[in-house]
Amino acid sequence: MDVLFKNIRLINPLNDMDEVVNLHIVNGIIEHCDSSAPKISIDCEIIDGTELVVSPGFIDIHTHLREPGFTHKETLQTAVNAALNGGFTEIVSQPNTNPCIDNALVVDYIKNKTLNMPVNVRIAAAITKDRKGETLTNMQTLANSGVVYFTDDGACVKSAEMMKRAFEYAGPNDYLIAQHCEEHTLTKNFSMNESDVSTKLGLIGYPSVAEAIIIQRDIALAEYAGNCRYHVQHISTSAGVNLVKSSKLKGLRVSCETTPHHIYFTDDKLMTYDVNYKMNPPLRKQADIDAIIEGLRDGTIDCIASDHAPHSSEECEVEFEKAPTGVVGLETSIGAALTLLYHRHKFNLKEIISLFSVKPRKILNLQQVIIEKGVSANLTIFSPNKEWVVDKNRFKTMGRNTPFHREIFCGKPEYIINNNFMVKSEL
């Protein structure tokens, strides 16, 4: 690799950097990073950066990579390809695989299969064995094997007693406990958000209070166990946002994420019975979207995560009630966020980059990315103003279950540079 991005805008919220530079990278190392003209070889590839922004590599802390066990939906390789295409240099795999990521052998399997890839694949392990909510996993062994947090995502830890034990074990070791916040007795056989729309369609609804009940319970347990680190996954309701905001004002160590689809669509999209809008948690009302966007603006919500959840076409081509929940997101997250937050709601680019890079790494206690001469390049490069039409047939993921097909986005990932690889997006 020998590439020069001429006159590219460099933004790094970590050190409040926002300037136009000539960025020269050789063999994965930043050789030049300022406004002066670098010395380059005749073989150097020169790319016009005047319409581009370079930032610390984006990380998606909530992705379902499906392998091991569900390779008809996705493989580790296709998930990595999707992350590259979508502008991410790091992703975090969720534990709902088969076998479940609840022991070091499965962790090692994923680590070994993703060695020397352009994307850093990190791993979240289960809180309870096989995600059944009955017995705690050996968190210490899993943490020692490199796990970055613990969650039973896809299912909520139903028992308050079990969750209390998880916090009591995690607290002294400062492990992060994350939760899929769903009070399951209120959501059995749900198809969508409980609302006037679900009533019109005759579908079983998932009431927003089912999310709030678990968030409130878990915050109380985390505080009781000694102000433990707690992360709310894919928050979707105004009530949930308010609970997180109150906990932060109290000084509790609570963080949360939201997804692009939960700020982009309301449950009105279900009027057509399109399974590409069926997800868990479900799409909510405009008031919930407004609260989430305000939560992103004021810092209540720490980051954006895709909740990338690929399914096979055969699984999705069934009656609406029988279709699986979840949508793919690695290749649409950046475009959706730039379109909605940067262009429509006037977030600045520094705020957008922080939501995808600085803040998620802070949640996971990961080393932050520095962009300066002499360091290894871990970079996302995007065009903030390029208009494009989402075409699911250009995705690298095996899943085609997306609500964004044919959406017009303004803002597009262009390149990632990481681990001495440079990959151009083909979206």
Give the HSE-up count for residue 315: Cα atoms under 13 Å, Cβ half-sphere.
Answer: 17
Strands of the sheet containing 303-304, edge to edge, are 58-63, 88-93, 120-125, 149-150, 177-179, 230-232, 254-258, 303-304
Contacts of 20 (CB under 8 A, 6+ apart): 7, 8, 9, 10, 35
Checking phi first, is residue 321 left (phi over 0); if not, alpha (psi -120 to 50) or beta?
A: alpha
Q: How far apart are CA 18 and CA 9, in angstroms?
A: 7
| Secondary structure (3-state) at 406 | coil
Active site residue 307: yes
Got the DSSP string for 253-273?
Answer: -EEEEE-HHHHH--GGGGGG-
Catalytic site residue from 152, 267, 302, 307: 307
Per-residue burial over 11-45, b if 16 or more Cβ lie within 10 Å, else e, is bbbbeebeeebbbbbbebebbbbeeeebebeeeee
The residues pairing with 410 across neighbouring beta strands, listed in sequence order, are 387
Q: How far apart are CA 312 and CA 421, in angstroms?
A: 30
Catalytic site positions: 307
